[in-house]
Chains A and B, each alone.
Chain A
């Protein structure tokens, strides 16, 4: 399959497809970060994670419409406000869901899967009733359109670079919060030993609620980034949920570094293969490789060594 291209062409193809994969990588990382916190840290399988992402995408869409209608002069900066709003909306919904639903199910992790699946059906229908079944697209501000010309054959899309930078920023802040802040220490303490954490005075219920909220909020930000690569519909989130779970499992649940590495390898493999074959076969091959590796190494790429 490589035979028809010269070395130089191949280099350009890999670089171009690599950058094309960057946005996919960013959405994967942001989705998977939220999921890794919820699944890796709390053991909850959140099948409604895609719907939290789509909520963020809808919030972004509404914000952009609002800016277009009332503040066209500030349209260039709408994305920053939209991201914050998306985080707040998804995070708030996540905390509500934790309070109503998830906290009753911590002892039955497989059942969270069924309950959150029910939740995702209800959210999808809610989006359909509120926003309509038709997919909506967001208009990008002028400065994000176009691309940077690196060489004659390599072009880098600006919005890709922007989303990429955003992802790095969010990942670094999540890592900071989880590993260096006082609250992050509490989260990890609750994960490692809930009873002892409670005994030393950590409010475990509160920690759970905020952790779930944080995971969902990050999904909302992922939704904001998602508006740049696809149009938003009530069921768009469902398409990403399995990929995201694979990213988390492949990386080794509970390992942030593993999540990033696996998101990167999966999105880049898929994006590069897409150039050489049809999109569906690229996806099949990527998923097959991931499942195959997981069968050989069930603990994922970066497994934490824990005593049980």
Chain B
């Protein structure tokens, strides 16, 4: 098929252009900085959703612990920012100047060893990718090599999310506890708090998001992506064909973890704090739900899912605090029962055929005879 040899087929290209136009042009022009910053916060979840498309939508591995990787990435970034904000001049009222404020409150008198390397930005950026990646590699190897999958994997990742949350909350002196790391100020001397910085960070994030979309799309189109899909559909046959199913699963899981970690790091930068409430079981399941609502097998669908569900959450909880949990719960049930492919499934079933037909009839009028245009439209 000629379509698959191109990087995007036509409907994906439309999706790409629409998303790029909305994120790069329409939203920055139409929203004030506060709202734009909210969108930036939603987009951090889009990274996680993108990873889940690869790992859950394509690989069939449901991870309920994406919050762990989101949190690891976020905490790595936040540790660097916190160290920079806790310079000796900024913290001279403390009994031990030069260490983060929460350590001082918890009677810790010197910077713990694992905090030391986070003075370096290079190390921090490497850590954002490598720490979650390695962690996912360990979990993935332990689980998939022993052929643990499906619901068991989901439950164990969930337990990992619970463990990490309890650990972060419990070890207040080292992690900032339940309040997390607050009061993050500068990145290499550049203040991240004023409005113009928020706008710049927003654009950095969108560029990163598109880079990740490119990587995901590339993985999807190569043989790797097809093996992932084959594995989801018939794991045994792929294994009998001689492929190492475990290694492909580990790869997909690690990619998802790294995407989530990038999202987490951008979260710390854009929102200006990081706390365990973005790590635990509830946020992890919510991340899965963004993906489910948007469409678990569609890269662009999942990103729209993350943006729209978060938008709905913010606006509903602002105006109807009583109702929004009902609405959210009903939305999940409806999506699972009625539209298992989410928004993108709805789009592909109802909107796309009409657009195709519109194009087809126009081209027919113009006297073109391109058969491939009607691809995907129902037979008439």
Contacts and interface: CB of A to CB of B under 8 A. Distances in A.
Interface of A: 39, 43, 45, 47, 101, 104-105, 108-111, 113-115, 117-122, 124-126, 128-129, 238, 242, 245-246, 249, 278, 280-281, 283-284, 287-288, 290-291, 294-295, 298
Given A284-B167, A295-B146, A117 B156 contact: no
B62 interface: yes
A119 B159 contact: no
Contact of A246 (B155, B322, B332): B155
B159 A287 contact: yes
A118 B142 contact: no
A85 B335 CA distance: 33
17 contacts: A47-B285, A110-B150, A114-B289, A118-B328, A118-B329, A121-B328, A121-B332, A122-B333, A125-B326, A125-B329, A238-B282, A242-B159, A283-B166, A287-B159, A288-B163, A290-B159, A291-B163
A264 B111 CA distance: 40
Given A121-B328, A124-B325, A115 B337 contact: yes
Majority secondary structure of chain A interface residues (helix, strand, loop or mixed):
helix
A110 B62 contact: yes
Majority secondary structure of chain B interface residues (helix, strand, loop or mixed):
helix
Interface in B332-364: 332-333, 335-337, 340
Interface string B305-320: 0000000000000000
Interface string B136-158: 00000011001110111011101
A294 B333 contact: no
B142 A295 contact: yes
Interface in B159-181: 159-160, 162-163, 166-167, 169-170
B282 to A, nearest CB: 7
Nearest to A45: B151
| Band of interface residues on B | 35 or more
Nearest to A113: B154
Nearest to A242: B162
With most chain B CB atoms within 10 A of its CB, the pick from A121, A125, A238 is A121
B355 to A, nearest CB: 29
B162 A287 contact: yes
Given A125-B325, A278-B170, 7 more contacts: A110-B150, A115-B336, A125-B326, A249-B152, A291-B159, A294-B152, A298-B147
The 10 closest A-B pairs by CB, nearest first: A118-B332, A280-B170, A122-B329, A121-B329, A125-B325, A118-B329, A115-B336, A298-B148, A118-B333, A295-B142
A104 B146 contact: no
Contacts of A105: 336-337
Contacts of B162: 242, 287
B54 interface: no
B288 interface: yes
Interface string B261-302: 000000000000000000001100100110010000000000
Interface in B167-214: 167, 169-170
Given A115-B332, A291-B163, A298-B148, A281 B326 contact: no
A126 B323 CA distance: 10
A108 B340 contact: yes
B331 interface: yes
A111 B166 contact: no
Contacts of B156: 249, 291, 294-295
Contacts of A291: 156, 159-160, 163
Contacts of A120: 329
Contacts of B325: 121-122, 124-125, 128
Nearest to A277: B170
Given A101-B337, A118-B332, A284 B289 contact: no
A243 B152 CA distance: 14
Contacts of A290: 159
Contacts, number: 116
Contact of A114 (B166, B281, B336): B336
B330 interface: yes
Contacts of A128: 325
B170 A281 contact: yes
A101 B337 CA distance: 8
A151 to B, nearest CB: 34
Nearest to B335: A114
A250 to B, nearest CB: 10
A50 B330 CA distance: 18
A18 B167 CA distance: 24
B329 A242 contact: no
Contacts of B154: 45, 110, 113
Nearest to B164: A284
Nearest to B282: A238
A114 B326 contact: no
Contacts of A284: 163, 166-167, 170
A105 B338 CA distance: 11
A125 B322 contact: yes
Contacts of B147: 298
Nearest to A126: B326
Given A129-B322, A295-B142, A119 B170 contact: no
Nearest to B325: A125
A249 B332 contact: no
Contact of B155 (A104, A114, A249, A295): A249
B342 to A, nearest CB: 11
Contacts of B329: 118-122, 125
Contacts of B158: 242, 245
With most chain A CB atoms within 10 A of its CB, the pick from B146, B325, B330, B340 is B325
A191 B143 CA distance: 26
Contacts of A278: 170
Contacts of B169: 280
Contacts of A125: 322, 325-326, 329
Contacts of B336: 105, 111, 114-115, 118
Interface in B26-56: none
A36 to B, nearest CB: 13
Contacts of B155: 45, 242, 245-246, 249
Nearest to B331: A118
Given A125-B329, A291-B160, A117 B152 contact: no
